[in-house]
Copies of this chain bind each other. A is one copy, B any other.
């Protein structure tokens, strides 16, 4: 993607991940024009991409909305994610280059720093991005085109829950430590260790998600899903 489309993609994605747009909200193309500063054409392209990443729903002739995943759908997603990222970690252990290892180390250090600063100045968005960088780095190190295509579809949707917003410093430190374990497994080329460490890491994340009933977002309650009006006279 190039320039304007990229700009639109990032702006919309940021708007959703930061919570400016809530699940179910309509994403009207002309409104996004003012938000992104580009015309409708690249915005449409960005929306299609976000759709394929599970962050946006598009209904033909009816427009885009922020995707609303049910609890069950999220559970299924984590199942898929566990397998795919487990595979990725295993492959990465066999195929990674020095360059990959450096990139992974960098993302973990960033996250460690953010974790230490957490009580003073928590930056949830930066944490989410560093986390994305780590998981994306594993995927890249795996050097499998198919795996990249498939995994990308399930890696971003969980970010919509803004999990990190409810993390404690301790949980963050744990997460960093798990990342370090995975990197170590990959760096010594132990595919099996890498796979199970990653699997465990993701399962932990999911568990943290569902074991906090107070945080269960509104959109998980399907009955309350707001059906927004559109068109007509105000």
**CB within 8 Å of B: which residues of A?**
1-2, 41, 44-45, 48-49, 52, 54, 60-61, 69, 73, 76-77, 79-81, 83-84, 87, 91, 144-147, 149-151, 153-154, 157
Contacts and interface: CB of A to CB of B under 8 A. Distances in A.
Given A80-B144, A149-B154, 11 more contacts: A41-B41, A44-B45, A45-B45, A77-B146, A79-B87, A80-B84, A80-B87, A80-B146, A83-B83, A84-B150, A153-B153
Given A2-B61, A153-B153, A147 B45 contact: no
B149 A54 contact: yes
A145 B54 contact: yes
A76 B48 CA distance: 26
18 contacts: A41-B41, A48-B48, A49-B52, A52-B52, A52-B149, A54-B149, A73-B144, A73-B145, A76-B147, A77-B145, A79-B146, A80-B84, A80-B150, A84-B84, A146-B153, A146-B154, A149-B153, A150-B150
Contact of A45 (B48, B145, B150): B48
Contact of A147 (B41, B80, B147, B157): B80
Return the 6 tightest CB-CB contacts between A and B, nearest first: A77-B146, A149-B153, A76-B144, A2-B60, A150-B150, A80-B146
B146 A54 contact: yes
A29 to B, nearest CB: 13
